[in-house]
């Protein structure tokens, strides 16, 4: 938010994202987000508490640029892309018996 009240997006090219997803047991869900170059990019997931979820972010070359693999269902990755590019967002459900609902947010 600028001092004149105008809203300015940072990170994601088309403004902040908020999406609800489901990931099945021992599976992954993949999203792609287009982030602006030379600006902080942030990805946050918040699960429903049923399983351990892990978050991985990959660049266009398939290189891992960030991950959060603790034993919770809340994950956060922040990075600075060099160029405006699409990044692969992978959410893995480490649980083996039930699915997890989660919210994915980015700036």
Render each residue's pLDDT in the chain as its tens digit; 107 residues.
334 444 344 566 666 789 999 999 999 999 999 999 999 999 999 999 999 999 999 999 999 999 999 999 999 999 999 999 999 999 999 999 999 999 999 98
For residue 2, the model assigns a pLDDT of 37
Task: Find out whether 25 and 54 touch, Cβ atoms under 8 Å.
Answer: no
CA dist., res. 3 & res. 75, Å (int):
31
Q: Is the pTM of this model over 0.85?
A: yes
């Amino acid at each position: 938010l600028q001092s004149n009240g105008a809203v300015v997006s940072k990170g994601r090219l088309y403004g902040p994202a908020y999406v609800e997803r489901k990931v099945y047991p021992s599976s992954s869900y993949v999203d792609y987000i287009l982030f602006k170059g030379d600006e902080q990019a942030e990805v946050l997931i918040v699960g429903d508490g049923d399983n351990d979820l892990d978050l991985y972010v990959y660049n266009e070359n398939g290189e891992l640029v960030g991950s959060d693999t603790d034993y919770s269902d809340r994950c956060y990755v922040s990075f600075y892309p060099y160029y405006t590019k699409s990044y692969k967002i992978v959410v893995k459900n480490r649980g083996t018996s039930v699915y997890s609902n989660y919210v994915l947010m980015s700036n």
